[in-house]
Structure 1
Amino acid sequence: MSRRGTAEEKTAKSDPIYRNRLVNMLVNRILKHGKKSLAYQIIYRAVKKIQQKTETNPLSVLRQAIHGVTPGIAVKQDV
C-alpha cells in the first residue's frame, strides 16, 4: 500500500476574456516554448476572424470543430 495520498483531479481554469475552459485548454495545447501570451494572441485572432466571417457565436463554432475532430469510439490496444 502506498503511503502517499491519491492525487486530486485538477479542473481546467477558464480564459480571461471569454471565461471558457475549452479556450484555455486549447491555449495550453498550442503553447510554444512556454509563451502563453503568444498562444492567447493566436487563439483570440482566430476567434475574431471566425466572428467576422460567420457572424455567429465563435465559441459555438469552436465547440463544433472540437467535437468534429474527437473520435466517437475509444480504441484500446491489447498489450
Structure 2
Amino acid sequence: MSRKKQYYKTIILNDPKFGSYIIAKFINYIMKNGKKNLAQKIFYYSINIISIKLNKNPFFIIKKILYNVQPNFEIKKKKIGGTIYQIPFKINLKRSLMFSMKWIVKNSKKRNENGYKNKLVGELIDSYYNNSLSTKQKDELNNKTEQNKAYSNFKI
C-alpha cells in the first residue's frame, strides 16, 4: 500500500460576472502573486473595451478568440534507435484551452502598448481577427505537425 499523500484536485469556481469556468481559468492565468481581484479588474476592463469596439456579446467574443488560438495537435520528442523524433499527437479540449490561454497571456506581455490592460486588449482583438502572435504560434505548431506527420504512427 502506498504511503504517499493523496492529491486532491483543486476546484475552480465559476467567475462572478459571467458564471463561466473558462473565464475563471483565464483570470487565473492572468493572476500574479495571488492578486485575483486585480486580475479580474484587468480582464473585465479588457472585455468591456472589446465588446464596445466589436459591438458583440463579450462571452461569445472570448469563446471565438480561444477557438482561434487553440491548437489541435501537440509535439513530443521520443528517442528511437539513437535518433530523436518529434511525434505529433491529438490533444484534448482542456489541454488545448490551456495552451491558448497561456499563449495569449505570454504574448500580450510582449506587446508595445502602455499598461497591461491595453496590451491584453490589443492581443485579444488581434486574436479575434487571426493576426496576433498567439495565432502565429498556433500556425507554427500546425506546420511542425504537418512536417512530422510521417512519425505519427510511433507510440509515446
Bigger strand share: 2
CA 1:64–1:34 in structure 2 vs 1: closer, same or farther (change >3 Å)?
Answer: same
Q: Name the structure 1 match of 2:18.
A: 18
SS in 2 for 1:49: helix
**How large is the Cα RMSD of the aligned pairs?**
1.9
Identity across matched positions, percent: 28
With normalisation by structure 2, the TM-score equals 0.45
Render the CA deviation track for 1:39-79: whole Å, top value 9, x for unaligned: 00000001111111111111111111112212111222215
Count of residue correspondences: 79
Q: Which runs of 5+ in 1 are unaligned?
A: none
Q: 1:67 & 1:77 partners in 2: Cα distance?
A: 26
- 1:9 is displaced (CA, Å) by 4.3
1:47 aligned counterpart, secondary structure = helix
- The question of 1:78 aligning with 2:78 is answered yes
The residue number in structure 1 matching 2:52 is 52
More relative contact order, 1 or 2 (CA 8 Å, 6+ apart): 2
Normalising by the residue count of structure 1, what TM-score does the alignment of the two structures yield? 0.81
Runs of 4+ residues over 4 Å off in structure 1: 3-6, 8-11
Tell me which moved more, 21-30 or 64-73.
64-73
State which drifts further: 14-23 or 69-78.
69-78
Unmatched segments (≥5 aa) in structure 2 = 80-156
Larger Rg: 2
